[in-house]
A and B are shown apart, each in its own frame.
Chain A
Amino acid sequence: MRKAMVLFACLFAGTVWASEQHGEEHGATPQGVHGVANEDQDAEGDDVAGYILHHVSDSNEYEFEVPLSRNHIPIHLPRILIPFHEGACTPVADTHGGHGEVYPSLGQGCLDLSITKHTVMMWLAALLLIGALMIWSNRDKTKLVPRGAGANLFEMLVLFVRDELAIKNIGKEEGPRYVPYLLTAFFFILFMNLLGLFPWMATATGNIAITCGLALCTFFVTQAAGIRAAGIGGYLKHLTGGVAPWLWPIMIPVEFLGLFTKPFALTIRLFANMLAGHIVIFFLLGLIFMLRNPAVALVSVPFAFGIYLLELFVAFVQAYVFTMLSALFIGMSVAMGHHDDHHHEGGESHDHGKAHHLG
């Protein structure tokens, strides 16, 4: 709790200083502490909104905001552009009249593989995850009893994912096969979510591209599980919905669409949850500058602190929900193969997860 409060204080301080400095960049005298207001309410509001958007969105540079000063140290990250044809990646002027040049999109034949702020955060989370597991995982086979809080915590979470998510949703027979995938998804998302709560860090899962990437992984695993369980023929047959051939023109698009709504729901759920919490925290703090009264801090800081704690909880809940839904989708795919078996052999084994009842 005390650590969380210290973290929060740091975050809060960083935000305040960053806001001040941001205000200055745009030619406005800093608000609040200086008490001089040059801009009108709307412009200031826009400024705060702009700052928040800038903070939560991805960028090609990582800005290290120096505490107790108005500076930030930008670290420019490498741009990697892969043109599909000659000259496809030459920068063009921003059509929206924004800041300078933009690079052409994928549709125009340029694949932008630039390292961005969120990419860096994702890698940091991945390294932290691997490091934490290397340090705290109990890998000594001679000592079967876990020792230490770290090892116990990880083991508890691992067992939770294995027993409550994998085996309950996929079944006892097929479940263990997908446990490593589910564990990786759970911990990777959890670490990215938690990393975003540290000062100077950003929430990689608050970026729709990253959640989309994760959902695509689940999508591939789900389809692979379906094909593995039912075979290619059974998998394609399942796409027809098992109805009379004359209904196929209706069923195939519906089933096909159904394949993509699941990962889409995963994408949006995780992205929106992580983004929304951060925006709420920033707006609560931004309220101090928008209302130009330091007294607002008395209200908004405790509120922001509460939301921060909520975010801490949401970080776990969203990692859990993503993993649980992944397990459920995999379970449904696996069940799809077993349904065909049931038609031929009757019930050979009923030891499957609840996904069988849903699927």
Chain B
Amino acid sequence: MFLPSVLAASSFVEVRPGLIFWTIVTFVIVLLVLRAKAWGPILSLVEEREKQISNAIESAKRERAEAEKLLADQKTAIAEARREAAETTRRVQADMEKFRDELMAKSRKEAEELKLSARREIEDQKAKAIAEVRSMAVDLAMEVAGKLMNERMDDAKHRALAEQFVQGLPGATSATATRRSA
């Protein structure tokens, strides 16, 4: 009951060429207006934004990598510095040690030398004193002996005899004994 009337009336399946014409005209006008006024700007804006975002991401990545590299550099630099400082300290300490040892050794040697020379001096002086004492003892003994014998003797012959006698005496300790005995 509806269908026949629908089909009979079917004015909506009638294609009006005028309307097609107007549609195309309107569409083309809308296309041109919007392309100039809306799509172009919107699309360029969107592209601009996309470019900026990708640039920002890129630069962020790059900066991050750079920062990481810098951080690594810093870390190695710090480690290097620390190592150098430790090295220097150690070297200085070693130097100090060596210097002190040297100084000690030198002063010890000097003291030793001083001691040695002092001993030598003492030895020399002792020997000299002993010799003096001996010669004095000889003279004294000669004088004592001459006086005791009351007799003039050949000086040289008696002296040799006395010296031979003294020679026969035992060492340093015996000198005093000699003197005492004399």
Q: Which residues of A contact B (CB under 8 A)?
A: 42, 45-46, 49-50, 53, 56-58, 80, 96, 106, 111-116, 118-119, 122-123, 126, 129-130, 133-134, 137-139, 141, 144-145, 154-155, 158-159, 162, 176, 179-181, 183-185, 187-188, 206-210, 212-214, 216-217, 275
Q: How far apart are the CA atoms of A305 and B18 in the complex, in Å?
A: 34
Q: Which of B57-106 contact A (CB under 8 A)?
A: none
Given contact pairs A53-B6, A210-B23, A214-B23, A130 touches B34 in the complex (Cβ within 8 A):
yes
Q: How far apart are the CA atoms of A179 and B34 in the complex, in Å?
A: 12
Chain B contributes a number of interface residues (CB within 8 A of A) equal to: 42
| Contact sample, A vs B, 15 pairs, CB 8 Å cutoff | A53-B5, A113-B18, A113-B22, A126-B29, A139-B45, A144-B48, A158-B39, A162-B46, A176-B43, A179-B43, A180-B35, A183-B39, A208-B12, A208-B13, A209-B23
Contact A123 B6 (CB under 8 A): no
Q: How far apart are the CA atoms of A75 and B162 in the complex, in Å?
A: 180
Chain B contact residues, majority secondary structure: helix
- CB neighbours (8 Å) of B107 from chain A are none
Contact B31 A133 (CB under 8 A): no
- Give the nearest-CB partner of B52 in chain A: A144
Q: Which residues of B contact A (CB under 8 A)?
A: 1-2, 5-6, 8-9, 11-24, 26-31, 33-35, 37-46, 48-49, 52
Besides A184-B27, A206-B12, 5 new A-B residue pairs in contact (Cβ under 8 A), listed by A number: A46-B5, A111-B21, A113-B21, A162-B43, A180-B43
Among the listed B19, B41, B52, which residue makes an inter-chain contact with A116, where contact means beta carbons less than 8 Å apart? B19
Contact A53 B27 (CB under 8 A): no
Q: How far apart are the CA atoms of A103 and B13 in the complex, in Å?
A: 17
A153 to chain B minimum Cβ distance, whole angstroms, is 12
- CB neighbours (8 Å) of B34 from chain A are 129-130, 133, 180, 183-184, 187
Q: How far apart are the CA atoms of A154 and B37 in the complex, in Å?
A: 14
A218 to chain B minimum Cβ distance, whole angstroms, is 10
Contact B52 A122 (CB under 8 A): no
Contact A49 B5 (CB under 8 A): yes
Contact B19 A214 (CB under 8 A): no
Q: How far apart are the CA atoms of A154 and B26 in the complex, in Å?
A: 21
Among the listed B14, B24, B30, which residue makes an inter-chain contact with A129, where contact means beta carbons less than 8 Å apart? B30
- Give the nearest-CB partner of A123 in chain B: B26
Contact B31 A181 (CB under 8 A): yes
Q: How far apart are the CA atoms of A41 and B76 in the complex, in Å?
A: 97
Given contact pairs A158-B43, A208-B15, A275-B12, A184 touches B30 in the complex (Cβ within 8 A):
yes
Given contact pairs A49-B5, A181-B31, A184-B35, A116 touches B43 in the complex (Cβ within 8 A):
no
- CB neighbours (8 Å) of B17 from chain A are 106, 111-112, 209
Contact B41 A56 (CB under 8 A): no
Contact B9 A53 (CB under 8 A): yes
Among the listed B11, B18, B38, B48, which residue makes an inter-chain contact with A137, where contact means beta carbons less than 8 Å apart? B38
Contact B42 A179 (CB under 8 A): no
Q: How far apart are the CA atoms of A354 and B34 in the complex, in Å?
A: 28
- CB neighbours (8 Å) of B6 from chain A are 49, 53
- CB neighbours (8 Å) of A113 from chain B are 18, 21-22
